[in-house]
Amino acid sequence: MIYQHRIVIARSGKLEKRHVEFQAQTMNALDEAGSVLTGAWEVYIGNEAGSAVWQLRQFDSMADWEIHQDRIRADNQLSEARKQNLYPHLDEVNTSILRLADISPALPAEWPGFDDVRGTERGYIEQRIMRFRVGAAPDHHALYRDKLMPALAREGAELIGLFDTLIGDGTTNGKSMQSVELRRFPDLASWQRWREAQDDDPALLKLVKQEWMPHLMELHSVLMRPLDYSRIR
C-alpha cells in the first residue's frame, strides 16, 4: 500500500464552506475513482488550527495512484466542479506520498463506507512529522521500535501508523528523511495525560530528551479532530 498525505489550507473564514463543497462536489467521486479517503482531520491545536485539514488516501500501489491521477484529470465534469465550487475556498494544498514503515502497525486493506462511519465515536488524532538528520532514519526506527513505541503506549494512546516519505518534501536522493506518526486518543484528557507523562516520568523524559530527540532535525506536531466522514477516527 501507499498513502497520499495532503494538507488543505482554506482561505480565512472559508473552512466550513470548504467542508460543504468537498462533500457535495468531490468526496464520493474520488472514492469511486479508486482513491480511498482513510482519514480527514481538522487541525484543532497547532499550526493552521481552524483553517487546515489533513487527509490520508490509500492506494494499492504507485501504479494505481498514477492511474487515479490520470482518471481524475480526464474527468472534465469533476474538474470543472472542483474549479468552480471548491478551489475558490482554498489557499494552499501540499501533497506527499508515503508508505508504512516496516516497524509500523498495519492498516486495514478495506474500509467501511462514509455512511457507515458518520455519527460513530470520534477521538483525537495527534500527528507528528519528524525530519531526520542525513542517514539517521534507520537508527531512529530501531530506537523507535525497541524503546519509544512501548514507552508511549499509555493513557489510552493507540499508534495508528508510522509512515516514511517516498515522494515530496522529506526525501533526498530517493531516501526518506521524514516520517509521519499518527496516534489516536479517546479524548482530550487522555492526550493531556500522555503529554504530561513525557515530562513527569523521569525514565520516559530521559528516553525522549537524550535518546530520541538527537535523531531529529525538526519535529512538528498538531492535534486534530476527525471530520464526521473520516474512517480513521
CATH 3.30.70.100 matches 124-225: yes
Q: What is the pTM assigned to this prediction? A: 0.90
Task: State the fold for domain 2-98.
Answer: Alpha-Beta Plaits (3.30.70)
Q: What letter does residue 160 receive in the DSSP assignment?
A: E
Whole-angstrom distance, CA of residue 134 vs CA of residue 17: 41
Q: What percent of the chain has pLDDT over 70?
A: 97
pLDDT digits (tens, 9 = 90+) for 178-207: 999 999 999 999 999 999 988 889 999 999
Cell of 150: 512501548
Do 19 and 227 touch, CB atoms closer than 8 A? Answer: yes
Answer whether residue 17 shows pLDDT above 70: yes
Mean pLDDT of 20-49: 88
Per-domain boundaries in the chain: 2-98, 124-225
Mean pLDDT of 137-144: 93
Which tops the pLDDT comparison, 89 or 202? 202
Answer whether residue 86 shows pLDDT above 90: no
Binned at pLDDT 50, 70 and 90, residue 102 comes out as very high
Answer whether residue 81 shows pLDDT above 80: no
> Residue 169's pLDDT is what?
79
Give the H or E element holding residue 205: helix 202-206
Sign of dihedral through CA atoms 185, 188, 190, 196? Answer: positive
Answer whether residue 173 shows pLDDT above 70: no
Sign of dihedral through CA atoms 38, 41, 47, 52? Answer: positive
Mean pLDDT of 28-46: 90
